[in-house]
Amino acid sequence: MVVPLRFGEEGVAGVSTRTSGASVGTGKVLAGARDPTPERASRGRALRSEAPRSSQGQWAAPPGRPDPITLLERQDRTRIPELVPIRYGRMASSPLSFYRGAAVVMAEDLASTPRSGLLAQLCGDAHLSNFGLFGAPDRRLVFDLNDFDETLRGPWEWDLKRLAASLEIAAREQGVAAAERDALVTQAAARYRTTMREFAQLPNLEVWYARLEEDALLTVAERQRLASRREIKQARRQAEKATHKDSRRALAKLTHQVDGEARFISEPPLIVPADELAGPGAWQEPAGHLLAEYRGSLGGDVRHLVEEYRFADLARKVVGVGSVGTRAWVALHLGADGEDALFLQIKEAQASVLEPFAGRSRFRNHGRRVVEGQRLMQGASDVLLGWFRGRDLDGREHDFYVRQLWDWKGSADVATLGADALLGYGSQCSWTLARAHARSGDRVAIAAYLGGGDSFDVAIARFCRTYADQNERDHQALLAAIEAGRIEAETGV
């Protein structure tokens, strides 16, 4: 999946826009209509005086910066207590792992940084590990953002800075020299900037249809010799492996036979069947009602599909790094025979970490906030996305969103990528993030603000150097809190 691609001035390799092949700049204004594009571009350029592009490189801990450990502890109050030590154990393993789990810390920090005033739908946690492969509804393997727990409308710079800083931190862990790290981050920022400028010239529909298809990406890389044969071969193996991570794989890996029917295995604390948590059968009726509410959030055709299956079993499943401790379930549904299985992941959705700084979501249900944000940002989304509100085992109501558990899922082990692979992967992620922002923000104004030179790119690299230093200090603060007994951490889980 990860190859050290070199992206040329002609655009990104492997882009599928699903159009008739119209080139950049072919959008036309209808007769009698006024083209607002020049005004939008003028607005973007004017904003440089309020937030100079060079100012985007500024970072210094402001006076009275909240203690990062205190911010993390506040999140613990709404999480499952016995799972919280797992979260800290995972975050403690490295500065990159800490960064993955510390979205709340960076949200606080980003709020004090310069911003252009232009908004877009944000991922809210756009680090390198929150991109990857999955199956589009038309059964093409696509590369896109894949985590939207923190999604909210806000300053587009926040997403880009979180992505770029994760690239700097990952490169440090691989021992990449400082000058080469600067080049990696600068080129990632440049890819975002040039991609936004390309999208600024496209008609709305072409922006909406644009996406990265893995097969096309690898084919172009092979033809243009953007990667070695060995790297291409390895990437194709990874893509093929992703297509086998589906409900059949989940059935074999996560279940066993009980009285002739599939039931979830028990591997506490990572997988715990509901029977063990709530008592045999005590969860079936309430869970069935909640899943019926979820089906009500689906379109009629997809609801019909889900109703072809019967709800069979439920288990709690620990996932991720930053999400550990939030309520996460997997629901097994069975079709006409024991081999036809549908696995749904049910994840708690709490308020976005961006809300204190970007404003509350317009959606009352945070599960819906996640789903609507995902649909707006992705080039293609899981047809089974839905949401509901219901009582969990603690007797309290929580918001949840639902998606397929494994839908041709593939991801890079970012912590193992060398400089060349990080260059290619960072470019893929930057293109993808620019496309997501172009769908929901004023791409013409953002492109005009960014401009044609590299002053913004250089500023982002400067920000990442200083913020990665801060992240290392915060990681050390976590280790000190664990050593002092303030924080309990469970490692190796």
> DSSP secondary structure string, 284-340?
HHHHHHHHHHHHTTS-HHHHHHHTTSEEEEEEEE--SSTTBTB-EEEEEEE-SSTT-
For residue 25, pLDDT beyond 80? no
Residue 125 and residue 160: Cα distance in Å, rounded? 10
End position of a domain, from candidates 375, 404, 433:
404
Helix (H) or strand (E) holding 466: helix 455-483
What DSSP state is assigned to residue 177? -
Do residues 171 and 214 both lie within one domain?
yes
End position of a domain, from candidates 370, 385, 404:
404
- Examine residue 340 and state whether it is found in any structural domain, yes or no: yes
Do residues 178 and 115 both lie within one domain?
yes
Q: Please give the mean pLDDT across all residues of the chain.
A: 92
Do residues 236 and 382 both lie within one domain?
no
Give residue 459's identity as a one-letter amino acid code: A
Do residues 111 and 217 both lie within one domain?
yes
Do residues 264 and 385 both lie within one domain?
yes
User: What integer pLDDT is reported at residue 18 of this predicted model?
Assistant: 43
CB distance 83 to 269 below 8 Å: yes
How many domains would you assign to the chain? Answer: 2
How do residues 32-60 score in pLDDT, each as one tens digit? 555 678 999 999 999 999 999 999 999 99
- Examine residue 168 and state whether it is found in any structural domain, yes or no: yes
Do residues 143 and 197 both lie within one domain?
yes
Extract the tokens encoding 185.
């981050």
CB atoms within 10 A of CB 95: 21
- Examine residue 5 and state whether it is found in any structural domain, yes or no: no
For residue 300, pLDDT beyond 60? yes
Lowest mean pLDDT among 9-13, 73-77, 459-463: 9-13
Residue 216 and residue 132: Cα distance in Å, rounded? 15
Listed residue (169, 164, 205, 153) closest to 186, CA to CA:
164
Helix (H) or strand (E) holding 403: strand 397-404
Rg over alpha carbons for the chain, rounded to the nearest Å, is 23
End position of a domain, from candidates 404, 432, 449:
404
Do residues 154 and 89 both lie within one domain?
yes
CB distance 181 to 171 below 8 Å: yes
H-type alpha helices, 146-283: 156-173, 178-200, 204-209, 214-223, 229-243, 247-254, 274-278
User: What integer pLDDT is reported at residue 456 of this predicted model?
Assistant: 98
* Packing angle of the helix pair 178-200, 455-483 (nearest 10 deg): 120
Instruction: Read off the pTM.
Output: 0.93
Do residues 169 and 136 both lie within one domain?
yes
Extract the tokens encoding 126.
């756009």
For residue 4, pLDDT beyond 50? no
Cis peptide before 269 (omega within 30 of 0): yes
Residue 368 and residue 384: Cα distance in Å, rounded? 13
- Examine residue 96 and state whether it is found in any structural domain, yes or no: yes
- Examine residue 278 and state whether it is found in any structural domain, yes or no: yes
User: What integer pLDDT is reported at residue 474 of this predicted model?
Assistant: 98
- Mean pLDDT, residues 21-36: 44
Domain that holds residue 109: 15-19+36-243+411-483
User: What integer pLDDT is reported at residue 220 of this predicted model?
Assistant: 80
How do residues 246-264 score in pLDDT, each as one tens digit? 999 999 999 999 999 999 9
Do residues 267 and 299 both lie within one domain?
yes
* Residue of 19 and 157 predicted with greater confidence: 157
- Examine residue 331 and state whether it is found in any structural domain, yes or no: yes
For residue 19, pLDDT beyond 80? no
Categorize the per-residue pLDDT at 29 as very low, low, confident or very high, splitting at 50, 70 and 90: very low
Extract the tokens encoding 75.
């999140």
In angstroms, how far is CA 353 from the centroid of its own chain? 14
Do residues 179 and 327 both lie within one domain?
no
Do residues 304 and 392 both lie within one domain?
yes
How do residues 157-170 score in pLDDT, each as one tens digit? 999 999 999 999 99
In angstroms, how far is CA 209 from the centroid of its own chain? 19
- Examine residue 3 and state whether it is found in any structural domain, yes or no: no
- Examine residue 478 and state whether it is found in any structural domain, yes or no: yes
User: What integer pLDDT is reported at residue 33 of this predicted model?
Assistant: 53
For residue 382, pLDDT beyond 90? yes
User: What integer pLDDT is reported at residue 20 of this predicted model?
Assistant: 30
Do residues 202 and 279 both lie within one domain?
no
Angle of CA points 179, 235, 8, to nearest 5°: 50
How do residues 129-153 score in pLDDT, each as one tens digit? 999 999 999 999 999 999 999 999 9
CB atoms within 10 A of CB 22: 13
CB distance 367 to 400 below 8 Å: yes
